[in-house]
Amino acid sequence: MAHGGYGKRRVAEGNRVGRRSKGPGVDKKPKPKAPSLKNQIRSIERMLRKDLPPEVREAQENKLEGLKKQQEIHNRLAVERKIFLRDRKIKFFERRKIERRIRRLEKLQRTSSGQAQDVDIADQLSKLKEDLEYVR
């Protein structure tokens, strides 16, 4: 130990000086993850291939049916979530485009001087505001 003399500075394990103690839940082991629906279905199907007593087979078939229903619900919700997010993006972009056009027409309306042009701009503005309400 040529540099620093770390051997001399070492303190007994139980008497740690100047170090933080571990929090209340640090030493606990994490809970094992529950197997996915797909894995549960596969394991039950494997079990059903074996020779089983009728009451066990009946219980496993009922469990398999319930798991398949859960998986179907999960898949349907995933598709609905995907469609919802896609539609939300589209609505956002459409709303931005319409708001931009409205601002442009309002600015044009403030600067214009012709009566015929004002009527045309007001007409376009009312249509755009209806479109905006539809998108919202």
Q: pLDDT tens digits, residue range 5-50? A: 666 655 555 555 566 666 665 667 778 888 898 999 999 999 999 8
| Cα angle for residues 126, 131, 136 (degrees, 5° grid) | 125
Q: Which residue has the higher pLDDT, 92 or 23?
A: 92
Residue 14 in domain: no
User: Binning pLDDT at 50, 70 and 90, where does residue 59 land?
Assistant: very high
- pTM equals 0.49
How far does CA 35 lie from the centroid of its chain?
20
* CA gap 88, 136 in Å, rounded: 10
Number of independent structural domains in the chain: 1
Yes or no: say if 36 and 71 are a contact pair by the CB < 8 Å rule.
Answer: no
* Structural domain that includes position 85: 37-135
- Please give the average per-residue pLDDT across 50-69, as a whole number: 92
Residue 62 in domain: yes
Q: Please state, as a whole number, how many other Cβ atoms lie within 10 Å of the Cβ of residue 128.
A: 19
Residue 3 in domain: no
Residue 96, H or E segment? helix 54-111
Residue 67 in domain: yes
For CA atoms 14, 19, 21, 27, the dihedral sign is: negative
Residue 125 in domain: yes
